[in-house]
Amino acid sequence: MESSFTPIEQMLNIRANRHKDFPLQEIILTRLCMHMQGKLLDNRNKMLKAQGINETLFMALITLDAQENQSIQPSELSSALGSSRTNATRIADELEKRGWIERRESDNDRRCLHLHLTEKGNEFLRQLLPPQHQSLQYLWSSLTAAEQEQLEAITRKLLNRLDKMDEDQVIASLSR
């Protein structure tokens, strides 16, 4: 069976044959990572959609579940999700509409709201997570434990380099 990456690889090979200074290996590795990330997201979104939720709502529920009292301020949710406060409010509205969270005043400051995971939200997560976990286990079972550890180490190494490139503004300096 042909890989979904084959057409991209064929195009890159043609380009490399035309341009001798073309960094083929680096581009193939980059495109493979990007292609795989897209496939991972598609796979995850299909599963979430089948369960009646999207990635944003799922991550909001997981974020709430990971808090000590399953409670978080809207501004903290916004930061955790990397979204605007306006968008975090929309997310909270949708979660509340579905009965998965409730808004409560803070015990210490009535001006401060907290978002709390409800029992219905907990129950939804209990049903949602096992198929998610099974799907991930099936995917990653194609690698041995040693390969998984090696991939994690390599991925972290590359992520550290990307973080350093941001920090050092490497892209901006190369673009001048």
Buried/exposed 58-90: b ≥16 CB within 10 Å, e otherwise: bbbbebbeebeebbbebeebbebeebeeeebee
What angle separates helix 6-18 from helix 24-50, to the nearest 10 degrees? Answer: 160
Q: Within 13 Å of residue 128, how many CA atoms lie on the same side as its CB?
A: 24
Bridge partners of 104? 114
The CATH number of the domain where 100 resides is what? 1.10.10.10
Instruction: Indicate whether 168 pLDDT > 90.
Output: no
Higher-confidence residue of 6 and 108: namely 6
The helix (H) or strand (E) run that includes residue 116 is strand 113-117
Q: How many domains does the chain have?
A: 3
Where in 19-100 does DSSP place strands (E)? 71-72
Determine the pLDDT at residue 105: 84
Q: Please check whether residues 127 and 115 belong to one and the same domain.
A: yes
Domain ranges, residue 71: 53-142
Q: Please check whether residues 79 and 132 belong to one and the same domain.
A: yes
Instruction: Indicate whether 176 pLDDT > 70.
Output: no
The residue among 63, 47, 40 whose CA lies nearest residue 129 is: 47
Q: Please check whether residues 148 and 129 belong to one and the same domain.
A: no
Q: What is the pLDDT of residues 89-144, one digit of tens each?
A: 999 999 999 999 999 987 777 778 899 999 999 999 999 999 999 999 999 999 99
Please give the DSSP secondary-structure letter assigned to residue 103: E
pTM for this model (two decimals):
0.77
Determine the pLDDT at residue 166: 87
Dihedral, CA of residue 117, residue 122, residue 125 and residue 126, to nearest 10: 160
Q: Please check whether residues 44 and 112 belong to one and the same domain.
A: no
Task: Provide the pLDDT confidence category of residue 172 given band limits of 50, 70 and 90.
Answer: confident
Q: Please check whether residues 38 and 6 belong to one and the same domain.
A: yes
Q: What is the pLDDT of residues 19-60, one digit of tens each?
A: 999 999 999 999 999 999 999 999 999 999 999 999 999 999
Range of 51-55, 75-79, 127-131, 147-151 with top mean pLDDT = 147-151
